[in-house]
Amino acid sequence: MILIAAVAMFDSRASALPDPTGKFPGGLGPGFYPFWSAAMIAGAAVVVIYRWFVTADIGEGVFARREAWTAPLKIAVPMIVAVAFIQWIGFYFVTGLYMGFFAKFIGRYRWIWVIVIAILFPAIIYFAFEKGFRVFLPKSKLYEQGFPL
């Protein structure tokens, strides 16, 4: 992880710091977010390595219990499915389904909150990105044919 983060930091180093010259809108260049995200990943990896060295070995493997390997699958499988369906049903609809799924089956929220979350989060993302930042996120195949999905 440190090596991958180092490559990302090296690649985006040219515009990693805020730009006082006004060359970039908002004062942040395109490398700001990737550089600092990679720096946080590298920092987290250093903390994990440090904890690995100082923590006593309990004698049991990390994935010895069933819950230890099913928990990452509960996150990874829905994420893979969501990414696969973005091009077909669009980012906002996928986000609503994804957030609703997690609220109900992982968070065990009541149905009313699941519906609120599934509608509210995509709406907030839409207004923040498409209206506020003017960054257009992927739409569905139906959107290209005139349907508002």
Q: What local confidence, expressed as pLDDT, does residue 95 receive?
A: 95
The full DSSP string for 90-139 is: -HHHHHHHHHHHIIIIIS---HHHHHHHHHHHHHHHHIIIIIII--PPPP
Structure tokens at 76: 């990874």
Calpha distance 69→59 (Å, rounded) = 17
The closest of 92, 89, 85 to 123, measured between CA atoms, is 92
Residue that wins the pLDDT comparison between 97 and 131: 97
Q: What local confidence, expressed as pLDDT, does residue 38 receive?
A: 95
CB 39 within 8 A of CB 2: no
Q: What local confidence, expressed as pLDDT, does residue 62 receive?
A: 66
Q: What local confidence, expressed as pLDDT, does residue 72 receive?
A: 85
Q: Which residue has the tokens 């990390």?
A: 62
Model confidence at 9, pLDDT cuts 50, 70, 90, reads very high
Q: Which residue has the tokens 């609703």?
A: 100
CB 20 within 8 A of CB 27: yes
Least confident of 2-6, 34-38, 59-63, 144-148: 59-63
27 Cβ neighbours under 8 A, 6+ residues apart: 18, 19, 20
- What does the pLDDT average to over 47-65? 81
What whole-number percentage of the chain has pLDDT above 90?
50
Residue 41 pLDDT exceeds 80: yes
Model confidence at 142, pLDDT cuts 50, 70, 90, reads confident
pTM, entire model:
0.62
Tell me the pLDDT of the chain averaged across its residues: 88
